[in-house]
Amino acid sequence: MNREVIFEAIKSNMHMIIPGADGHEILETNSMRDFGADSLEMVEVVSRSMKQLKIKVPRAKLLPVKNLKELVDVFEESAPKQQVA
Amino acid sequence: MADQYACYIAFAPDSGVPTPALLARLSSLERDLVMHLPTEQQRRQSTLARLAGKSAIERPLGRRASRSSRVEILKAANGEPVALVDGNAGVASVSLAHSSRLAVACAWTNLPRNGYGAGVDLERVRHSEVASSPYAFSRRERRLISAASQGTSWIGLAAWTAKEATWKAMRPEVECGPETIEICELDLRQGRAALRPRGKLVARFHQATFRARLNVIPGPDGMYLLTIAEVVSRSRG
Protein backbone atom coordinates (compact mmCIF):
# COMPACT_ATOMS: atom_id res chain seq x y z
CA MET A 1 0.00 0.00 0.00
CA ASN A 2 1.56 3.32 -1.00
CA ARG A 3 1.42 6.69 0.70
CA GLU A 4 -0.94 8.18 -1.88
CA VAL A 5 -3.62 5.58 -1.17
CA ILE A 6 -3.27 6.13 2.56
CA PHE A 7 -3.37 9.91 2.29
CA GLU A 8 -6.39 9.84 -0.04
CA ALA A 9 -8.31 7.69 2.45
CA ILE A 10 -7.48 10.06 5.32
CA LYS A 11 -8.41 13.13 3.26
CA SER A 12 -11.69 11.62 2.14
CA ASN A 13 -12.64 10.82 5.74
CA MET A 14 -11.61 14.28 6.89
CA HIS A 15 -13.88 15.86 4.27
CA MET A 16 -16.71 13.62 5.46
CA ILE A 17 -16.28 13.99 9.23
CA ILE A 18 -14.72 17.41 9.91
CA PRO A 19 -17.11 20.21 8.87
CA GLY A 20 -14.24 22.76 8.61
CA ALA A 21 -12.35 20.56 6.12
CA ASP A 22 -15.21 20.26 3.67
CA GLY A 23 -14.24 21.85 0.34
CA HIS A 24 -10.72 22.78 1.50
CA GLU A 25 -7.44 21.54 0.10
CA ILE A 26 -5.69 19.28 2.61
CA LEU A 27 -1.89 18.98 2.61
CA GLU A 28 0.37 16.52 4.44
CA THR A 29 1.77 19.44 6.42
CA ASN A 30 -1.68 20.19 7.85
CA SER A 31 -3.03 18.81 11.08
CA MET A 32 -6.70 18.02 11.64
CA ARG A 33 -6.80 20.88 14.17
CA ASP A 34 -6.09 23.28 11.27
CA PHE A 35 -9.63 22.56 10.08
CA GLY A 36 -11.22 22.91 13.51
CA ALA A 37 -11.42 19.18 14.31
CA ASP A 38 -12.19 18.29 17.90
CA SER A 39 -10.74 15.21 19.60
CA LEU A 40 -13.72 13.02 18.78
CA GLU A 41 -13.64 13.93 15.09
CA MET A 42 -9.92 13.13 14.99
CA VAL A 43 -10.54 9.72 16.54
CA GLU A 44 -13.32 9.06 14.05
CA VAL A 45 -11.12 9.99 11.07
CA VAL A 46 -8.30 7.74 12.29
CA SER A 47 -10.62 4.83 13.13
CA ARG A 48 -12.55 4.98 9.87
CA SER A 49 -9.35 5.25 7.81
CA MET A 50 -7.83 2.24 9.60
CA LYS A 51 -10.97 0.23 8.92
CA GLN A 52 -11.09 1.29 5.27
CA LEU A 53 -7.41 0.51 4.70
CA LYS A 54 -7.65 -2.72 6.73
CA ILE A 55 -4.70 -1.84 8.92
CA LYS A 56 -4.15 -2.04 12.65
CA VAL A 57 -1.95 0.48 14.38
CA PRO A 58 -0.93 0.11 18.03
CA ARG A 59 -2.65 2.91 19.92
CA ALA A 60 0.57 4.08 21.59
CA LYS A 61 2.04 4.83 18.15
CA LEU A 62 -0.71 7.33 17.40
CA LEU A 63 -0.33 9.39 20.55
CA PRO A 64 2.70 11.45 19.43
CA VAL A 65 1.36 12.10 15.90
CA LYS A 66 1.32 15.86 15.25
CA ASN A 67 0.30 16.23 11.60
CA LEU A 68 -1.02 14.27 8.62
CA LYS A 69 2.45 13.42 7.33
CA GLU A 70 3.25 11.67 10.61
CA LEU A 71 -0.12 9.92 10.52
CA VAL A 72 0.57 8.65 6.99
CA ASP A 73 4.04 7.50 8.16
CA VAL A 74 2.54 5.47 11.03
CA PHE A 75 -0.13 3.98 8.77
CA GLU A 76 2.47 3.11 6.12
CA GLU A 77 4.66 1.34 8.69
CA SER A 78 1.69 -0.70 9.87
CA ALA A 79 0.25 -1.50 6.45
CA PRO A 80 0.74 -5.01 5.07
CA LYS A 81 3.65 -5.06 2.62
CA GLN A 82 2.74 -5.52 -1.05
CA GLN A 83 3.43 -8.94 -2.45
CA VAL A 84 6.14 -8.88 -5.12
CA ALA A 85 5.69 -11.41 -7.91
CA MET B 1 -25.06 20.12 39.68
CA ALA B 2 -22.25 21.99 41.49
CA ASP B 3 -23.12 20.41 44.85
CA GLN B 4 -22.11 16.99 43.54
CA TYR B 5 -18.56 18.12 42.87
CA ALA B 6 -15.62 19.66 44.65
CA CYS B 7 -15.18 21.96 41.66
CA TYR B 8 -17.34 24.76 40.29
CA ILE B 9 -19.00 24.40 36.92
CA ALA B 10 -20.12 27.11 34.50
CA PHE B 11 -21.59 27.03 31.01
CA ALA B 12 -21.42 29.48 28.11
CA PRO B 13 -23.99 28.72 25.41
CA ASP B 14 -23.55 30.26 21.98
CA SER B 15 -26.54 32.57 21.82
CA GLY B 16 -25.53 34.22 18.55
CA VAL B 17 -23.71 37.24 20.00
CA PRO B 18 -21.31 38.47 17.26
CA THR B 19 -17.71 37.26 17.70
CA PRO B 20 -16.22 40.78 18.15
CA ALA B 21 -18.60 41.40 21.07
CA LEU B 22 -17.54 38.10 22.67
CA LEU B 23 -13.86 38.86 22.10
CA ALA B 24 -14.28 42.23 23.80
CA ARG B 25 -14.86 40.34 27.07
CA LEU B 26 -11.39 38.80 26.93
CA SER B 27 -8.08 40.36 27.92
CA SER B 28 -5.64 41.33 25.17
CA LEU B 29 -3.47 38.26 25.89
CA GLU B 30 -6.50 35.99 25.68
CA ARG B 31 -7.60 37.63 22.43
CA ASP B 32 -4.13 37.05 20.96
CA LEU B 33 -4.39 33.35 21.78
CA VAL B 34 -7.87 33.03 20.35
CA MET B 35 -7.09 34.97 17.18
CA HIS B 36 -4.25 32.56 16.36
CA LEU B 37 -6.73 29.70 15.97
CA PRO B 38 -7.20 28.79 12.31
CA THR B 39 -10.98 28.68 11.98
CA GLU B 40 -13.82 31.01 12.96
CA GLN B 41 -15.57 28.14 14.73
CA GLN B 42 -12.48 27.43 16.86
CA ARG B 43 -12.11 31.12 17.73
CA ARG B 44 -15.73 31.34 18.77
CA GLN B 45 -15.67 28.11 20.79
CA SER B 46 -12.39 29.01 22.48
CA THR B 47 -13.79 32.44 23.43
CA LEU B 48 -16.93 30.87 24.90
CA ALA B 49 -14.86 28.31 26.79
CA ARG B 50 -12.76 31.12 28.32
CA LEU B 51 -15.90 33.02 29.34
CA ALA B 52 -17.23 29.85 30.99
CA GLY B 53 -13.84 29.41 32.65
CA LYS B 54 -13.88 32.95 34.05
CA SER B 55 -17.36 32.38 35.52
CA ALA B 56 -16.33 29.06 37.03
CA ILE B 57 -13.21 30.59 38.62
CA GLU B 58 -15.06 33.59 39.99
CA ARG B 59 -17.39 31.39 42.03
CA PRO B 60 -14.92 29.95 44.51
CA LEU B 61 -13.18 33.30 44.67
CA GLY B 62 -16.43 35.10 45.43
CA ARG B 63 -15.92 37.62 42.67
CA ARG B 64 -18.64 39.46 40.86
CA ALA B 65 -19.05 39.10 37.11
CA SER B 66 -18.23 42.78 36.61
CA ARG B 67 -14.66 42.05 37.72
CA SER B 68 -14.18 39.22 35.26
CA SER B 69 -11.33 41.05 33.54
CA ARG B 70 -9.17 40.17 36.58
CA VAL B 71 -9.38 36.50 35.69
CA GLU B 72 -7.47 35.46 32.59
CA ILE B 73 -7.19 32.03 31.03
CA LEU B 74 -4.01 31.59 29.05
CA LYS B 75 -2.30 28.50 27.72
CA ALA B 76 0.71 26.54 28.99
CA ALA B 77 3.37 25.21 26.61
CA ASN B 78 1.69 21.80 26.72
CA GLY B 79 -1.66 23.30 25.69
CA GLU B 80 -3.26 23.14 29.12
CA PRO B 81 -5.32 26.14 30.24
CA VAL B 82 -3.63 28.28 32.87
CA ALA B 83 -5.77 30.50 35.10
CA LEU B 84 -4.37 33.82 36.24
CA VAL B 85 -6.17 35.66 39.04
CA ASP B 86 -5.03 39.27 39.24
CA GLY B 87 -1.98 38.16 37.26
CA ASN B 88 -1.10 35.29 39.60
CA ALA B 89 -0.94 31.65 38.50
CA GLY B 90 -1.50 28.93 41.06
CA VAL B 91 -4.53 30.44 42.78
CA ALA B 92 -7.06 28.45 40.78
CA SER B 93 -7.09 25.76 38.11
CA VAL B 94 -9.54 25.28 35.30
CA SER B 95 -10.53 22.68 32.74
CA LEU B 96 -12.36 23.74 29.56
CA ALA B 97 -14.41 21.93 26.93
CA HIS B 98 -16.59 22.89 24.02
CA SER B 99 -18.65 21.18 21.39
CA SER B 100 -20.85 22.68 18.70
CA ARG B 101 -22.64 25.62 20.39
CA LEU B 102 -21.93 25.01 24.07
CA ALA B 103 -18.84 25.55 26.21
CA VAL B 104 -18.30 24.40 29.78
CA ALA B 105 -15.62 24.86 32.40
CA CYS B 106 -14.88 23.51 35.84
CA ALA B 107 -12.61 25.33 38.25
CA TRP B 108 -11.19 24.83 41.69
CA THR B 109 -8.95 26.74 44.02
CA ASN B 110 -5.57 25.12 44.48
CA LEU B 111 -4.60 25.87 48.04
CA PRO B 112 -7.05 23.84 50.11
CA ARG B 113 -6.99 20.77 47.90
CA ASN B 114 -3.47 19.81 47.08
CA GLY B 115 -3.62 16.61 45.07
CA TYR B 116 -7.01 17.37 43.56
CA GLY B 117 -7.54 17.59 39.82
CA ALA B 118 -10.69 17.84 37.75
CA GLY B 119 -11.44 17.58 34.07
CA VAL B 120 -14.46 18.30 31.94
CA ASP B 121 -15.52 17.06 28.53
CA LEU B 122 -18.56 17.73 26.42
CA GLU B 123 -19.96 16.30 23.18
CA ARG B 124 -23.14 17.23 21.38
CA VAL B 125 -25.22 14.10 20.87
CA ARG B 126 -24.94 13.03 17.24
CA HIS B 127 -24.38 9.91 15.22
CA SER B 128 -20.96 8.57 16.01
CA GLU B 129 -19.01 5.41 15.27
CA VAL B 130 -16.59 5.99 18.13
CA ALA B 131 -18.11 3.09 20.12
CA SER B 132 -16.55 0.60 17.71
CA SER B 133 -13.20 2.37 17.38
CA PRO B 134 -10.21 0.19 18.31
CA TYR B 135 -8.19 3.39 18.67
CA ALA B 136 -10.54 4.98 21.19
CA PHE B 137 -11.40 1.84 23.16
CA SER B 138 -9.78 -1.46 24.05
CA ARG B 139 -11.52 -4.72 23.20
CA ARG B 140 -12.75 -5.00 26.78
CA GLU B 141 -14.15 -1.47 26.72
CA ARG B 142 -15.91 -2.12 23.39
CA ARG B 143 -17.55 -5.19 24.91
CA LEU B 144 -18.70 -3.08 27.85
CA ILE B 145 -20.10 -0.41 25.53
CA SER B 146 -21.89 -2.89 23.28
CA ALA B 147 -23.49 -4.53 26.32
CA ALA B 148 -24.97 -1.23 27.50
CA SER B 149 -28.66 -0.72 26.88
CA GLN B 150 -28.60 2.98 25.98
CA GLY B 151 -27.65 2.62 22.30
CA THR B 152 -24.07 2.45 21.05
CA SER B 153 -23.99 5.96 19.61
CA TRP B 154 -24.98 7.61 22.90
CA ILE B 155 -22.97 5.30 25.11
CA GLY B 156 -19.94 5.55 22.82
CA LEU B 157 -20.01 9.34 23.09
CA ALA B 158 -20.53 9.12 26.84
CA ALA B 159 -17.59 6.74 27.18
CA TRP B 160 -15.41 9.06 25.13
CA THR B 161 -16.28 12.08 27.32
CA ALA B 162 -15.55 9.99 30.42
CA LYS B 163 -12.09 9.12 29.13
CA GLU B 164 -11.24 12.59 27.95
CA ALA B 165 -12.45 14.29 31.14
CA THR B 166 -10.44 11.82 33.22
CA TRP B 167 -7.20 12.30 31.36
CA LYS B 168 -7.66 16.07 31.63
CA ALA B 169 -8.00 15.59 35.40
CA MET B 170 -4.75 13.57 35.46
CA ARG B 171 -2.81 16.24 33.63
CA PRO B 172 -0.59 18.16 33.53
CA GLU B 173 1.69 15.57 35.08
CA VAL B 174 1.20 12.87 32.50
CA GLU B 175 0.82 12.55 28.75
CA CYS B 176 -2.50 10.81 28.28
CA GLY B 177 -4.22 9.14 25.38
CA PRO B 178 -7.06 6.68 24.90
CA GLU B 179 -4.90 3.72 25.95
CA THR B 180 -3.75 5.26 29.23
CA ILE B 181 -7.13 4.98 30.94
CA GLU B 182 -9.61 2.13 30.95
CA ILE B 183 -13.31 2.32 31.57
CA CYS B 184 -14.39 -0.54 33.83
CA GLU B 185 -17.96 0.48 34.51
CA LEU B 186 -20.36 2.71 32.60
CA ASP B 187 -23.98 3.48 33.33
CA LEU B 188 -25.49 6.46 31.55
CA ARG B 189 -28.85 6.14 33.34
CA GLN B 190 -27.18 6.31 36.74
CA GLY B 191 -24.70 8.86 35.41
CA ARG B 192 -21.79 6.84 36.66
CA ALA B 193 -18.49 5.76 35.17
CA ALA B 194 -15.59 4.00 36.83
CA LEU B 195 -12.17 4.36 35.27
CA ARG B 196 -8.67 3.27 36.14
CA PRO B 197 -5.22 4.09 34.82
CA ARG B 198 -3.32 1.57 32.74
CA GLY B 199 0.30 0.76 31.98
CA LYS B 200 2.91 3.07 33.46
CA LEU B 201 0.24 5.18 35.14
CA VAL B 202 -0.88 2.36 37.45
CA ALA B 203 2.04 2.85 39.83
CA ARG B 204 1.85 6.61 39.61
CA PHE B 205 -1.84 6.80 40.50
CA HIS B 206 -1.78 3.76 42.79
CA GLN B 207 -3.40 5.62 45.69
CA ALA B 208 -5.60 7.90 43.64
CA THR B 209 -9.37 8.02 43.73
CA PHE B 210 -11.08 8.38 40.36
CA ARG B 211 -14.63 9.61 40.01
CA ALA B 212 -16.56 10.46 36.84
CA ARG B 213 -20.16 11.63 36.60
CA LEU B 214 -22.01 11.55 33.29
CA ASN B 215 -24.80 13.99 32.54
CA VAL B 216 -27.17 14.47 29.62
CA ILE B 217 -27.97 18.17 29.36
CA PRO B 218 -29.85 20.40 26.92
CA GLY B 219 -27.90 22.89 24.80
CA PRO B 220 -28.81 25.56 22.23
CA ASP B 221 -28.86 23.01 19.39
CA GLY B 222 -29.78 19.72 21.00
CA MET B 223 -28.70 17.41 23.79
CA TYR B 224 -25.14 17.17 25.04
CA LEU B 225 -23.21 14.57 26.99
CA LEU B 226 -21.11 16.05 29.76
CA THR B 227 -18.61 14.34 32.02
CA ILE B 228 -16.96 15.85 35.05
CA ALA B 229 -14.06 13.74 36.28
CA GLU B 230 -12.21 14.17 39.54
CA VAL B 231 -8.93 12.60 40.58
CA VAL B 232 -7.55 12.86 44.10
CA SER B 233 -4.02 11.60 44.34
CA ARG B 234 -1.74 11.70 47.38
CA SER B 235 1.26 11.59 45.07
CA ARG B 236 0.21 14.83 43.37
CA GLY B 237 0.76 16.90 46.47
The residue among B78, B99, B133, B176 with the most chain A CBs within 10 A of its CB, best to mutate, is: B133
Q: Tell me what the mean pLDDT of segment B178-205 comes to.
A: 88
pLDDT at B165: 95
Give the homologous superfamily in CATH for domain A3-78. ACP-like (1.10.1200.10)
Subunit contact B42:A50, Cβ cutoff 8 A = no
Which of A33, A38, A47 has the CB atom closest to B129's CB atom?
Answer: A47
pLDDT at A61: 86
Residues of chain A contacting B133 with CB distance shorter than 8 Å: 43-44, 46-47
Residues of chain A contacting B160 with CB distance shorter than 8 Å: 39-40, 43
Q: Tell me what the mean pLDDT of segment B133-159 comes to.
A: 89
B17 SS3 class: coil
Q: Residue B205 and residue B176: Cα distance in Å, rounded? A: 13
Subunit contact B129:A44, Cβ cutoff 8 A = yes
DSSP characters for A27-68? -TT--GGGGT--HHHHHHHHHHHHHHHT----HHHHTT--SH
Q: Provide the residue-wise pLDDT of chain A in tens; the chain has 85 residues.
A: 789 999 999 999 999 999 889 888 999 999 999 998 988 999 999 999 999 999 989 888 888 898 999 999 999 998 876 544 4
Query: What are chain B's domains?
Result: 1-113 (3.90.470.20), 124-237 (3.90.470)
Which residue does chain A place closest to B160, by CA atoms?
A: A40
A9 SS3 class: helix
The 10s digit of each residue's pLDDT in A50-71 is 999 999 898 888 888 989 999 9
pLDDT at A84: 43
Size (chain B), residues? 237
Å between A85 CA and nearest CA of chain B: 33
Q: Residue B23 and residue B30: Cα distance in Å, rounded? A: 9
Which residue does chain B place closest to A48, by CA atoms?
A: B133
Subunit contact A47:B136, Cβ cutoff 8 A = yes
The ranges assigned to domains in chain A are 3-78
Establish whether the linkage from the previous residue to B172 is cis, with ω within 30° of 0: yes
pLDDT at B3: 47
Give me the helices (H) in B40-184, please: 40-61, 139-147, 152-170
Q: Residue B181 and residue B192: Cα distance in Å, rounded? A: 16
pLDDT at B207: 82
The 10s digit of each residue's pLDDT in B216-226 is 999 999 999 99
